[in-house]
Structure 1
């Protein structure tokens, strides 16, 4: 179906004209997508505090590799961190080591450096989505393929979830990049099966698989395997897979991954596999691990926030996807998305980033439906659903402003104009949709997302001290002007504090903090208010008088608690008597 705005008699909307201009060449399209990705992902990359708990665990483990020189085992303080393979740690340590050699001050404690693999991975996702779109939409004509591929890449650049993962020193942005690359080659093998794949493309596919296994284990093989299974059932044949040269490909993967897997087996006596498979992967399949339980349907509900602003367009386009489900390229995209999505919905552990590698296929389907005239104002509930386009940024702006005022008594004056700009562009996007200028609406939605990213990550977070507990404690620790400072903490034990201070940070209780301060010179303890009485009683019993340097008050997102932490240092001997 073609909407009135795209009928031959109507003049093309400005969004359609702009799309034609930016897709006249692949170079121009890729350059603009890279620019969009940088604008969306870079704000806050260095200034955002480490986000507890996963991100600083990854960064701290990489930091310890640099400290110890052991690049085989993965450790967090004295414990083995045997959950994910070594790939992301190698990427992080390579970048931090390079920064040290270039003279970056205190590079090992700069969280922005550890985030660079994720930033590069997220940019690669946007560019690879364009490539995948060209491959998958090729049967619709070169013009549709170029324009649909560009819109799909732009939707990924605007995705809130990818924007968050681009700023976290974790595995998911890199994993998603390897997935999009591999699935693009798989699509080429399936959709153009009569034409042999070049050795270069075959190599790209298997190297992407190998990298993904080193970064996050078997997830890409799972996504690709489910896609192949569904297509095999559909076609009653998998002969087309032969063009990927599976035996040679598996040899490439084995050469890439087996050396480290054998080394970690020897190093840990098999403990890595027992922990990662038996206690991490299978635990997530049995129950909601680490308080991340969610009911079936949780990912679908979260989708409208995590894939904003394109998620609303996706929902409107679902009938078109279903109508064309027998078309080969649509079948491929649905095989990429649906079985894996259902699997994750069935698992009790729910984390939004688990389904991120499925978003590029959704972006391609959405872009096609939009350009095909299947997404327009006259679709059922479309006029009501699209109110989410301005409501999401408005809710984020109001929520952050209320939190900042409630917790710190501050108004986010520098961020407010940018918030208003993001909401204003989003309102313009919504109104454009109501006028059936859907391509213009899509462009404006992407622009609103980028401005929102600048306002939240680039400006607002720097104005909310309550969210920066660990950085403020680390700043206090920096006042210990001695060669070998020692630090301890009581109940506040977030990994971000360990990363920003010292690997040997002592985790203790109130009495232990007093004993720690009394045990030697140049020591500091972070004592939460709940441990204060026990700490002071023990200090009095020891005959020492710890000096209160400052109190750090803030909000710990993990657990949702307000904290009041006293920062104490031991008095010099002459003053403590």
Structure 2
């Protein structure tokens, strides 16, 4: 096993091994975890409405314009759905995993780009190790299971920064074709998430210009990137859709996306996603698990080697982006993902350096805390979650405890043997069974969190083929229910409105949350209705942090 780990970075087929590693890490739960609230179901349902209507310019969720993110991810998801339907996959547009494919492919591009471009920055062996460490990062594993922008964005950032790294290290050999690729990839990133993608090389460029000023008066890498025609090329790649959507929405998209979404994240906590400065440093041990311990051990050595061009470039890539998101008020664990490829390459370079500097004592103990604490925390969470959610012990979930113990013992053994590179690669491999326990054995088997699929099944059993416009709900307006039943469902304000909805046309059904049930019955009695109960779906609405019971009502006759 030790010989295999030591020789794996020198494999003749590095791409194949990395793809197999990614699939082993990411496929658990990919097909079986139900649609999540809220972002995943919002993106997936908006894409499904694009496919249904053929309108690929405007983004709508139900009857409401969704003017938050550009259409790039929706186009990628629609392409995946259309391709699957062409291949004969039945009901592809109703399967959430079809909308997750662009996330998986974007993450795969990021891993392969980290290896491909990392070879020039840190060498072939370290490039392979860095790519493997990135593949295993828990935050990226989770993003591959969510049908939204961030994993796909990481793919574009990794390619763009890899090209920028080549321009920085060897500007004379950087071709016009490579420069065009750099700017076109940034144009694609703009279509995915607006200015976030271009901000990464911009911040890195400003940092490099400041760092190089002491011994360089010019920036040959900037001339190699050909910004004079590159920036217009980037804008040209993204501008047509922005013009089209601005016309189609009478300017509402730009005003809502910039003023209502982007600026609200900078100046306030969007949807209560607030975190203090230092938030990302505090969660790094879990977000970057299982690679976090190696990154922490490498920090001192990376800073000491900052005068080396490759190391300086990787630091200029990672540090400003990290500080930017620490300064932004709205914080979510995946926001710092664009810095992760650089951090993993720095860690891999340190681990394979025979002259590496040992970490100071405080970083050593922080790395040990990450190495031991994260797997224990994940295993305990996997064991406790079925008890808290469904009130029962899951034998599969308990497997996480011995798997976590195996992870800790195996990784520590390799680390104490003085081989941090082997310990890093072993940590990624030992994370595979832990992912299978949590993502395939626990999350899809829970009952309480997955309210929408169960409610949709109850509606189908009660009135097979009921049109979405004939169904209304009060007290549970989660996007996963729209994805499960259709964008035309009635999202009702309160119990009396639910009673009026039921009375307005024959054959309708309405789901009423327990908090609105009394008001619903009172209004139904006033209208002369005699609603019939068809069943109750209860569970835990994790978006709001509370339990809910939904009673399905209809009227006979």
CA distance in 2, matches of 1:252, 1:60: 32
SS at match of 2:236: helix
CA contact (8 A) 1:179 1:212 kept: yes
Which aligned pairs between 1:408-427 and structure 2 lie closer than 5 A?
A: 408-417=390-399, 419-427=401-409
Q: Distance in 1 between matches of 2:510 and 2:388?
A: 28
Secondary structure at the counterpart of residue 441 of structure 2: helix
Q: Is 1:179 the counterpart of 2:157 in the alignment?
A: yes
Aligned to 1:481: 464
Identify the residue that residue 118 of structure 1 maps to in structure 2. Answer: 103
1:8 corresponding residue in structure 2: none
SS class of match (1:550): strand
* 1:230 to 1:384, Cα distance in 2 relative to 1, 3 A: closer
Cα distance, 1:214 vs structure 2: 0.8
Structure 1 unaligned blocks of 5 or more: 1-13, 138-144
Provide the C-alpha distance between the structure 2 equivalents of 1:60 and 1:533, rounded to a whole number of angstroms: 32
Post-superposition shift, 1:414?
2.7
**Structure 2 residue aligned with 1:54:** 39
Aligned pair count reads 549
1:32-51 map, 5 Å: 32-51=17-36
In structure 2, the partner of 1:253 is: 234
Q: C-alpha separation between the residues in 2 aligned to 1:221 and 1:293? A: 24
Alpha-carbon shift at residue 276 of structure 1 (Å): 0.8
Q: Could you tell which deviates more after superposition, 430-439 or 157-166? A: 430-439
The equivalent of 1:89 in structure 2 is: 74
Give, in whole Å, the separation in 1 of the partners of 2:304 and 2:148: 38
Listed one character per residue, the Cα deviations across residues 468-521 of structure 1 (whole Å, up to 9, x for unaligned) are: 111111111222224635111111100111111121111112111122222223
CA–CA distance in structure 1, aligned partners of residues 65 and 43 of structure 2:
12
Name 1:344's counterpart in structure 2.
325
Listed as ranges, the gaps of 5+ residues in structure 2 are: none
Q: Please point out which of 409, 420, 444 is paired with 1:438.
A: 420
Give the alignment of 1:374-413 within 5 angstroms: 374=356, 379-380=361-362, 382=364, 385-413=367-395
CA contact (8 A) 1:22 1:28 kept: no
CA–CA separation in structure 2 for the residues paired with 1:314 and 1:20: 19
Shift of 1:384: 6.4
* Paired position in structure 1 for 2:212: 235
Provide TM-score, normalisation by structure 2.
Answer: 0.94
Q: Is the CA contact 2:175–2:224 (under 8 Å) kept in the aligned structure 1?
A: no
Q: In structure 1, what is the equivalent of residue 545 of structure 2?
A: 560
Distance in 1 separating the partners of 2:193 and 2:287: 21
| 1:492 matches 2:473 | no
CA deviations on 1:74-125 (whole Å, 9 max, x unpaired) are 1111221111111000011111122233332322221110000001111111
Contact 2:5 2:426 (8 Å CA) reproduced: no
Q: If the length of structure 1 is used for normalisation, what is the TM-score?
A: 0.91
C-alpha separation in 2, matches of 1:315 and 1:377 = 8
Equivalence for 1:503: 487
Find the counterpart in structure 1 of residue 198 from structure 2. 221
Number of the residue aligned with 2:173: 196
Does the 8 Å CA contact 2:10/2:125 hold for their aligned counterparts?
Answer: no
SS at match of 2:10: coil
**Is contact 1:179-1:357 (8 Å) kept?**
yes
Of the three residues 157, 168, 178, the one matched with 2:146 is 168
1:437-481 residue CA offsets vs partner (Å, 9 max, x unmatched):
423321221022221111111111122101111111111122222
Over residues 358-381 of structure 1, what are the superposed CA-to-partner deviations in whole Å (9 max), with x where a residue is unaligned? Answer: 000000000111111537688555
Comparing 179-188 with 342-351, which one deviates more in the overlay? 342-351
Where do 1:318-357 residues align within 5 Å?
A: 318-357=299-338
Superposed displacement of residue 418, structure 1:
5.2
CA 180–274 in structure 1, closer or farther in 2 if over 3 Å, else same: same
Query: Deviations 1:268-290 (Å, cap 9, x if unpaired)?
Result: 12111111111211111111121
Determine the structure 2 residue equivalent to 1:9: none
Work out the CA distance in 2 between the residues paired with 1:95 and 1:318.
Answer: 40
C-alpha contact 1:376 1:438 (8 A) present in aligned 2: no
Q: Distance in 1 between matches of 2:177 and 2:459?
A: 52
Does structure 2 retain, via aligned residues, the 8 Å contact 1:52–1:558?
yes
Deviation at 1:391, TM superposition (A): 2.7
